[in-house]
Amino acid sequence: MNVEREEIKEIIFKTLECFFIEYDLSVDMSDGEHTKLFGGDGVLDSLGLVSFVVAVEEAIEDEFNVSLVLADEKAMSRRTSPFGKIKYLIDYVFELINEK
């Protein structure tokens, strides 16, 4: 597939926004792409991460008609987790989807 990083970024931020509304969370996103998602002072707890990952998978599926599993071997074996920061997640999805 040939998908621009900007498209992925838009989908992820939109999904995150919907997620915060759905779970009634008020989150400081002033760091933009550098906002920490999970681990340490990340904005998501473990159950929140599970729900958010599913929401991103569905959003990708709806937009590009392709089924991705984000928590795959590659994600788990990386030195830098794709779920650590929004930026890493965008980069990871961008990489995965363009491999399809």
| Closer CB to another protein, 41 or 99, in the complex | 99
Q: Which two tokens mark 18?
A: 């919907």
Answer yes or no whether residue 45 interacts with another protein by CB under 8 A.
no
Determine the Cα–Cα distance for residues 56 and 8; give it in Å rounded to an integer: 10
- Using the rule CB under 8 A, give the single segment among 7-15, 49-57, 74-82, 86-94 that binds another protein: 49-57
Count of other CB atoms within 10 angstroms of residue 44 = 22
Determine the Cα–Cα distance for residues 57 and 32; give it in Å rounded to an integer: 21
Q: Please, which of residues 53-72 interact with another protein by CB under 8 A?
A: 54, 57-58, 61, 67-69
Residues in the chain: 100
| Closer CB to another protein, 29 or 68, in the complex | 68
Binding interface with another protein (CB under 8 A): 47, 51, 54, 57-58, 61, 67-69
